[in-house]
Amino acid sequence: MRQSTIAPRASVFGLGNVLLGDDAFGPFTIEIFRSQFQCGPAIEIMDLGTPGLDLAPYLYGRNFVILVDSVKADGEPGTVRVYRESDLSECAAQLRVTDHDPGLLESIAHLRLLGHAPVELAIIGVIPESCLFGAGLSSKIDAAVAVAMDQIVRILIEQGVDCKPRSQPLRPKLWWNPIAPSILESLVGCTPVRDSLRLVDRYENGKHGNENGGAISF
């Protein structure tokens, strides 16, 4: 079968719904990470949203995968925990009612049976405070972004991946966030921007808007 590309050396994936309060933690953190750190070309950084069972194609044949996600666990909101695959295998098997139930365990198990599971997996999870539509990250979760980003960097360096701070941080593409929270200022020294995508500006310049700022990449 066709292999579209050679598998990246490491994959950093954000999981979660950007519109659902603290559930945006994964996509938010990886976007801040991307804007702050320069990694070699063999690293892929992607917001996968909430794919449920559709996670499998994105984990297929990968080498080292870091997932950043909100997790349900005992502890204070804002606590960051790092899990390895073996920690999750002890989770009870789950009765699936809809295909929106998180599909991480199933996806990994399916890929293991096929022989195409990621070589290694780390999950950086935050305990959320509140996941309400349109709410944005809550204040307790703000501080966790920096902690989680440190963990990403630490794990990548352990893996021997070239990963260093950018001399000129990029403007993070937090298109869903009409007002970037204080975290942007404190953490990245970036002025919060209203509507980071500036969709309206681009329309007025006769171009189209999307999450990438207009470009569609093949």
Partner 1 sequence: MARISIDPITRIEGHLRIDVEVDSGSVQKAWASCTMWRGIETILKGRDAREGWLFAQRFCGVCTTVHAMASVRAVEDALQLEIPPNAQYIRNLILIAHALHDHIVHFYHLSALDWVDITTIPKANPARAAAIADGVSSWPGNSHRELEAVQNKVKGLVGSGQLGIFAHGYWGHPAMRLSPEINLILFAHYLQALEFQRKACQVVGILGGKTPHIQNLAVGGVMNAINLNSLATMNMDRLGMLQSLLQEMMPFVEQAYFVDACFLAASYPEWFRYGRGVANYLAVPDLPVDGKATRFDLPGGVITNGNLSSVRPINDWHDQAIRGAVAEDVTHAWYQGKGLQPPWQGKTDPDYTDFRENGKYSWVKAPRYDGAPMQVGPLSNILVGYASGHALTRKWTDLAFKQIAASGAHITINDMQSTMGRYLARAIRSAMLSELALQHWQLLSDNILKGDEATYNPPVFPQQEIVGAGLHEAPRGTLSHWVVIDKGTFSNYQAVVPTTWNASPRDEKGAPGPYESSLVGNPVANAESPLEVLRTVHSFDPCMACACHTLDASGRRIAQVKVL
- Per CB under 8 A, which of residues 141..170 are in contact with partner 1? none
CB 196 within 8 A of CB 171: yes
Interaction with partner 1 in 109-128: which residues (CB under 8 A)?
A: 109-111, 113-114, 116, 123, 125, 128
Task: State both tokens at 137.
Answer: 């990250």
**Six token digits for residue 163:** 């990963």
**Binding to partner 1, residues 46-105 (CB under 8 A):** 47-54, 56-58, 60, 69-74, 81, 83, 87-102, 104-105
Nearest approach in angstroms of CB 189 to partner 1 is 27
The answer to whether 201 contacts partner 1 (rule: CB under 8 A) is: no
Q: Give the nearest distance from C-beta 90 to partner 1 in angstroms.
A: 6
Cβ closest to partner 1, residue 162 vs residue 211: 211
Tokens representing 100 are 């929106």
Distance, CA of 107 to CA of 172 (rounded, Å): 30
Residue keyed to tokens 């937090």: 174
Q: Rounded distance, CA 168 to CA 98, Å? A: 44
CB of 1 to partner 1, least distance (A): 6
Choice between 109 and 193, CB closer to partner 1: 109
Residues forming beta bridges with residue 120, ordered by sequence position: 64
